[in-house]
Structure 1
Amino acid sequence: MRAAQPRSRQQTLSQRRRLIGSSCKLFFSNDPVKIVKAKGQYMYDEDGRQYLDCINNVAHVGHCHPDIVKAAHEQNQLLNTNSRYLHDNLVDYAERLSKTLPEKLCIFYFLNSGSEANDLALRLARQYTKHEDVIVLDHAYHGHLTSLIDISPYKFRNLEGQKEWVHVAPVPDTYRGLYREDHKDSVTAYADEVKNIIERAHKRDRKIAAFFVESLPSVGGQIIPPAGYFQKVAQHVHKAGGVFIADEIQVGFGRVGKHFWAFQLQGEDFIPDIVTMGKPIGNGHPLACVATTKEIAEAFAATGVEYFNTFGGNPVSCAIGLAVLDVIEKEHLQAHATEVGNFLMKLLKEQQIKHPIIGDVRGCGLFIGVDLIKDQAERTPAPAEAEYLITRYMGQSWSSSVWEARTQLQTTIQQSGQKRKQSVGKGTV
């Protein structure tokens, strides 16, 4: 079979438009980039132009990391099959994940995608509580399955609307939300909004199965909930007979730097009832997981209906998952996320001083958001300006300060990598 001739970017784009559903959008759709290879934090187009990848949320330990490639290749040469067969990789991976989580979260289900994980979490919650209703945050997105579109205001408001069993709470946003940084107790105020939702639901004879939330709302605006908010919400939800589900699909696996899981930013005294994982878990390989308690898992099993996922937890997926954990630990990537994230935040705050359009810079580790506004007093969002900014190529004319910041950031990333290599040699963190 002859190798296919290289296609131009325009030829590939034309073929995609002919064959792929138009609702499947491209980054930079007006002038899409054709990426042909990647290595580490860099991506390359068909002309060899290098891009610093700041938006990819799956290449968690770097594109084409040799340890990940090796783990996948070696296991592929041995076995990849239906997950009903007994295999060490599955239990070894579950054991490794358990060491990153609170002891209470000790039962695991493996799947292929974050959407599958969130769908299963919803089933677990409903079976355990015998309730139906779900509380979510405004602007939330939890996946593309029908069950998840129903609990994703970001999607359902443009489709069939809100179901009667879905309740939407305000995002705990202290910059633009109902209760801002000058509020005397924004934590209690936002948690009381959830309490009020529960009370209104009970008056309609509806019962709460779960509070379903991203540990750090991403689609909702890169929000950092105030510490203590989850604890207070969990109290109200548990009192109503529901469970707390933490969606870590975007933000888990050390991305926040300080902690392995973003929900841990709330404090050591907070433990969700169910945690869902996806995206970075396999460094781009289809892999996902749900972690929960023995009590919830036993209630799910009590139905007598088997839960089966053909490829969830297959030997290759688990080999890759183990390799990702190895790299995070060996290369001290949590410390790296903290160091580079702090430096990036510093650079962004310097830009904020210079440019009134930057209303807020917020984040933790390498989960960072820049909030663009039209005016300082009203904090009115500036979506057109944001769209213009994110679609500009690095190859175009930038101010000298932005070029300097880009160079400084790349240098910091490289220096952080060198430090990690040295510390690995010394056996220190």
Structure 2
Amino acid sequence: MIDTRALRPVLDSVPQRSNDEILKLRRQWLNPTLSVSYREPLKIVRGEGVWLYDQHGQAYLDMVNNVCHVGHCHPRVVEAGQTQMARLNTNTRYLHDNIVEYALRLTATLPVPLSVVFLTNSGTEANDLALRLARAHTKARGVIVVDHAYHGHSPSMIELSPYKFNGKGGEGPSAHVGVVAMPDTYRGVFREGPEAGRQFGQLLQPAIADLHAREMATAAFYCESLMGCGGQLVLPDGYLPEAYEAVRAAGGVCLADEVQVGFGRAGEHFWAFEGQYVVPDIVTMGKPIGNGHPMGAVVTTPEIASSFVTGMEYFNTFGGNPVSCAIGLAVLDVIAEEQLQENARRVGAFLMDGLRNLQRRHDCMGDVRGQGLFVGVELVRDHDARVPDQATASAVVEAMKARHVLLSTEGPDDNVLKIKPPIVFSQANAEQFLDTLDQVLTSV
């Protein structure tokens, strides 16, 4: 636990307001599109490990925060940031050891030839920069994306995110974007079976042809290695090999979006794309890379990176600064030294077994899926018809919160319980969660 006594003069200078006061001020002074979680929002004032604490000291088990990857306020990560911040924070126009050390350490986790690193401040920036790289390399503009995917909030990424452009306030797909169906083997056009991944992958060919008919050559295929907003989907075996082959045959490059799922969360692999036995041309990272510190990265091949050398410099004032790199190095250290990838594998398997046991007793649990500590539970009204049950999913989330366990929902029908806690999540935490969920599903 971090000693905050030295920070108290600063912390105490901020007025402590009631929840109602904060909500009123948010509505008056902040971005009006900001949302809050739960019917009765929580005021969270402290975090530690897998726990969040409200202003009354009540602890909540955090089942959804994949940002604080190695645990809220991990002492090693906090100390790294504090120490470097007290010594120096500047930009990449000066030489510094941290950035080259981070590039060496990060690329050591990736397959050859992914060896050139660009550092950014977020996953959105990483995906946005990756689009520039892909277009510079291919001289094309068209992009294939997966339905209900989310890749960021910049203008270019809204255009590549069906979750946004086909959602409320969206303006539909742009001319340079082709959309393929989610590889959902539970409720999708192809169901469970050894050929489903290949069949979903074959859907890229007509999407590429459709772009070509619009006189739009294919620059890139964007795909999350595990789909988050799509409903915690695990890609079926064979999907990415089939999809990548089609894209590369069309002259495009293949991007793995690891913003939510990288850095050991998948358990069996450090990077979730490795479970598909492919090597992407570009990998993008964010969220867990800095354990909550604003940081992101793009890693690509020397060939693609060289295509970006046009005379225009890519300079990011804060990308790759010494503090961010110190924090990023500390996150890598913690993952390795605390064996958190193995923890994600072991505890994730225990959690999946427990959820499948519950599934046999609760008819509303239509599907349980996941890898490591990235898990989804799809709630349905009818097992045979697989009719999504958004109302029950919402009720479960609220009932779990009342029992001090934080969950959320995801998916096109908002009926999937999303489970992606910090990867320090233990078997004891999993047992508590499973017992609580059993109680809630019985009562709901």
Would the TM-score normalized by the shorter structure come out above 0.5? yes
Other-structure match for 1:326: 333
TM-superposed CA distance for 1:13, in Å, is 2.2
Q: How does 1:45-64 map to 2 (within 5 A)?
A: 45-64=54-73
Q: How does 1:9-408 map to 2 (within 5 A)?
A: 9-28=19-38, 30-158=39-167, 159-182=170-193, 185-267=195-277, 270-301=278-309, 303-396=310-403
TM-superposed CA distance for 1:393, in Å, is 4.2
Name the CA distance, whole Å, in 2 between partners of 1:149 and 1:5. Answer: 36
Give the letter aligned to residue 173 of structure 1.
D
Give the letter aligned to residue 96 of structure 2.
H
Deviations 1:121-157 (A, max 9, x none): 0110011000000000000110000000001011001
Deviations 1:30-72 (A, max 9, x none): 2101101011111100111110111112110011111001100
Matched residue SS, 1:276: strand
TM-superposed CA distance for 1:349, in Å, is 1.1
TM-superposed CA distance for 1:228, in Å, is 1.9
Other-structure match for 2:439: none
Name the CA distance, whole Å, in 2 between partners of 1:188 and 1:255. Answer: 25
Q: 1 or 2 for the larger relative contact order (CA 8 Å, sep ≥6)?
A: 2
Q: Which moved more, 1:357-366 or 1:77-86?
A: 77-86
TM-superposed CA distance for 1:82, in Å, is 2.1
1:412 to 416, 424, 427: 427
TM-superposed CA distance for 1:391, in Å, is 2.3
TM-superposed CA distance for 1:278, in Å, is 0.1
Name the CA distance, whole Å, in 2 between partners of 1:204 and 1:48. Answer: 58
> CA RMSD of the aligned region, Å?
1.9
Give the letter aligned to residue 264 of structure 1.
E
Change beyond 3 A, Cα 1:48–1:125: same
Unaligned runs of 5+ in 2: 1-8, 406-423, 432-444
Which contiguous aligned blocks of 4+ residues in structure 1 show a shift greater than 3 angstroms? 393-398, 413-416
The answer (yes or no) to whether the contact 2:366–2:386 under 8 Å persists in 1 is: yes
Percent sequence identity over matched residues?
51
Name the CA distance, whole Å, in 2 between partners of 1:4 and 1:138. Answer: 43
| TM-score with structure 2 setting the length | 0.87
Deviations 1:224-275 (A, max 9, x none): 11122111111110010000000000000000111100000112xx100000
Q: Which moved more, 1:83-92 or 1:323-332?
A: 83-92
Change beyond 3 A, Cα 1:355–1:283: same
Name the CA distance, whole Å, in 1 between partners of 2:209 and 2:173. Answer: 19
Deviations 1:400-421 (A, max 9, x none): xxxxxxxxx98724799xxxxx
Matched residue SS, 1:198: helix
Give the letter aligned to residue 295 of structure 1.
E
Matched residue SS, 2:311: coil
Change beyond 3 A, Cα 1:125–1:15: same
Figure out how many residues of one structure are paired with residues of the other and give that number: 401
The answer (yes or no) to whether the contact 2:60–2:404 under 8 Å persists in 1 is: no
Q: Which moved more, 1:137-146 or 1:198-207?
A: 198-207
The answer (yes or no) to whether the contact 1:340–1:413 under 8 Å persists in 2 is: no
Unaligned runs of 5+ in 1: 399-408, 417-429
Name the CA distance, whole Å, in 2 between partners of 1:280 and 1:104. Answer: 23
